[in-house]
Structure 1
Amino acid sequence: MPCGEYFTDYESRMGLVRWRTQKIALALGLPIPFIAPFLLGGGTVTLLTQAYIFAIAVLGLNVILGYAGEIVLAQGAFMAIGAYSTSRLLAVGAGLFPALAVGGLISALVAVGFGLPSFRVKGFYIAISTLALQFIAEEWFFVNPQLAFIHGGTTQSVPSNVGLVGPVGALGTTIDKYLLALVLLLVFALLSLNLSRTGIGKTFRAIHENDLSASVLGVNVFKNKLLAFAIGGFMIGVAGGLFGFQIGFINAEYFTLGLTLEHYVMLLFGGLGRVWGALLGVGVVTLVQDYLNDGLNYLADLTGTNATALLPVFFGAIIIVVLAVEPKGVLAGLGKIKEYLRTWPFAY
């Protein structure tokens, strides 16, 4: 607790913004991302927009894995379901918000369906259940032309100029997409932060730590696991719809198992079960990946080899290093440094 600041009630103690320094930092820092697109180049704005969208998807993964402890290997499939559903609805003029909401709901329903095995199995076995969904979506459903009447075709163009609700509130410029992704990220981040403080979030934590003990205490473990799948699936589906709208077209090749690995790297790097850790991981990994892509492309041109194939190796190495050095993520490591500096030079 900073010197001279004291809590006199539980409401102040449990607030999201508790310290005077945090309030000042929020007041000074919050306007920056809203001003940034008017000062930065188009390529940087596009990169930041994608980072915001991936942050929403990683926050959804954090609800399922970080809060409830359920391993999910179908991140790409959930995003694909949201993207294709949103694309179909935008094509008939439904408006962006209704399309994103329906895409998120469909993704949530599929997530709940493939979370049903959690009634009997957990851990590695529920991971295999969701991995089956990834292979079904990636290798069969979205690439099957005979099912185009459902998904609309493997490759689709997403309307770039649409209204927020029907024809109302038209948007489609790069800055529009940036601001929309930023606002939705702030909304979902705020919801995730508050979810962790509610009874539902604490129930998820109890299931994560020991589902048998939670069951003995009266928690309906199966129902709450499905609820975590529904909440996380909805957020990931919305992120998939936003991703398709941002790039202007979708293809099943964008939603592979590699995308799931990339999001796992972001979440584990920042800190599992921590909202700020997820946001930190997405920001750092996205920037490093962009610079690494440029470097590997330069190396490929220089040597005549496929150097870009080393990118998955880089992600795998990050997971191994982070788990070996600081299993709780970079945010936990920064917290340890902060506590050390706070008590130095004393030993306690």
Structure 2
Amino acid sequence: MPCGEYFTSYESRMGLFRWRIQRIALVAALPIPFLLPFVLGGGTTSLLTQMYIIAVAVLGLNVILGYAGEIVLAQGAFMAIGAYTTSRMLTTGAGLVPSLIVAGLMASLVAVLFGLPSFRVKGFYVAISTLALQFISEWFFTNDRAEFIHGGTQQTLPTEIGLVGDIAPVGGGQSVYFLALVAMLVFVMLSLNLSRSGIGRTFRAVHENDLAAAVLGINVFKNKLFAFAIGGFMIGVSGGLFGFEIGFISPDFFTLSLTLEHYVMLLFGGLGRVWGALLGVGVVDLLNDFLRDVFSAVASDATALIPVVFGVIIIVVLAVEPKGVLAALGQVKEYLRKWPYAY
């Protein structure tokens, strides 16, 4: 506890920003991302927009895997469902926000359906059921006979659309940037408050020991499905934003490799930690872009080594600090707080 600051109630002890320095840092740092598009180039703004969108998807994965402990291998499928649903909804003239909400609900519904096996099995077996969804998704969105449902394997999304109907049209780099930023901030606050609520603590109890949680009276199956629903909604919204941002969707964007990439981000930052998920997205995405430029300059086929580099990074991180880089940074902070008085 910082010197001179004391808790006088449980509300202050459980507050989202408990220390004065945290509140000062929030006030000082919050305007920065809103000012970045005015000082950065279009390429950097587009990169940040994609990072915000990916962050929403990784936060959804964090709810399912980090909070509830359910292994999901259908991240690409959930994003594909969100992207194609958004594309179909935009053709109705509903607007972007209603389309994203419907996309999130559709992905949430599918996540719950494929989470039903968690009633009888857990762990690796649940992962296999979600892996089956990934294969079904890739088959479905490439099947021309199902075009009357998904609208076509490859689709072009409108470059400008109203937020609700024709009201407040958005399109172009800066408007999509701010939309993705607001969406990320909303889901960050949702994830942070979820982890501090009774629902979040129930998820963690199920994660740690579902048998002990059941003995304590927790409905394990219901809470697992609830985690699938929340995480699926967030991932579906991310998929819709991703499709609208790039203006084009194809099943090739939502393969199993996308799931593995998001796992790298989450494990790197720290499983079950909101700030760790954001840290992992930022570092891995920037490092991926940097390595792509470096390897492309060396040789045209050298970019194939990028997954090898990330594999080595994950092995090193898990060997040094299994809880992720954020946990390691927390240990450094605690050490500096006590230094030079070790007691």
* TM-score, normalisation: structure 1: 0.97
Mapping 1:302-321, distance limit 5 Å: 306-321=301-316
Q: 2:119, 2:314 → 1: CA distance?
A: 29
Q: 1:146, 1:312 → 2: CA distance?
A: 35
Q: 1:343, 1:28 → 2: CA distance?
A: 26
Query: 284, 308, 320: which one pairs with 1:325?
Result: 320
What secondary structure is seen at the aligned counterpart in 2 of 1:336?
Answer: helix
Contact 1:93 1:166 (8 Å CA) reproduced = yes
Gaps of 5+ in 2: none
Counterpart of 2:13 in structure 1: which amino acid? R
Counterpart of 1:263 in structure 2: which amino acid? H
Contact 1:261 1:315 (8 Å CA) reproduced = no
Q: 1:170, 1:40 → 2: CA distance?
A: 23
Correspondence for 1:126: 126
What secondary structure is seen at the aligned counterpart in 2 of 1:162?
Answer: strand
Count of aligned positions: 343
Correspondence for 1:220: 219
Correspondence for 2:71: 71
* TM-score, normalisation: structure 2: 0.98
Render the CA deviation track for 1:252-277: whole Å, top value 9, x for unaligned: 00001111111001101111000010
Counterpart of 2:306 in structure 1: which amino acid? L
What secondary structure is seen at the aligned counterpart in 1 of 2:72?
Answer: coil
Counterpart of 2:26 in structure 1: which amino acid? L
CA RMSD of aligned residues (A): 0.9
Report the alpha carbon displacement of residue 347 of structure 1 after superposing the two structures with TM.
3.5
Counterpart of 2:157 in structure 1: which amino acid? V
Mapping 1:87-106, distance limit 5 Å: 87-106=87-106
Counterpart of 1:91 in structure 2: which amino acid? T
Which is worse superposed, 3-12 or 317-326? 317-326
Q: 1:233, 1:344 → 2: CA distance?
A: 44
Query: 321, 324, 331: which one pairs with 1:336?
Result: 331
Report the alpha carbon displacement of residue 314 of structure 1 after superposing the two structures with TM.
2.4
Correspondence for 1:109: 109
Q: 1:217, 1:4 → 2: CA distance?
A: 39
Mapping 1:235-314, distance limit 5 Å: 235-301=234-300, 306-314=301-309
Correspondence for 1:161: 160
Q: 1:291, 1:345 → 2: CA distance?
A: 38
Report the alpha carbon displacement of residue 318 of structure 1 after superposing the two structures with TM.
2.4
Counterpart of 2:111 in structure 1: which amino acid? A
Q: 2:128, 2:307 → 1: CA distance?
A: 21
Mapping 1:1-16, distance limit 5 Å: 1-16=1-16
Mapping 1:136-151, distance limit 5 Å: 136-138=136-138, 140-151=139-150
Q: 2:341, 2:127 → 1: CA distance?
A: 45
Counterpart of 2:121 in structure 1: which amino acid? V
Report the alpha carbon displacement of residue 174 of structure 1 after superposing the two structures with TM.
0.5
Q: 1:256, 1:20 → 2: CA distance?
A: 44
Q: 1:59, 1:309 → 2: CA distance?
A: 27
Q: 1:189, 1:75 → 2: CA distance?
A: 18
Contact 1:79 1:237 (8 Å CA) reproduced = yes
Match status 1:170 vs 2:169: yes
Correspondence for 1:84: 84
Gaps of 5+ in 1: none
Correspondence for 2:18: 18
Contact 1:2 1:19 (8 Å CA) reproduced = yes
Q: 2:283, 2:180 → 1: CA distance?
A: 18
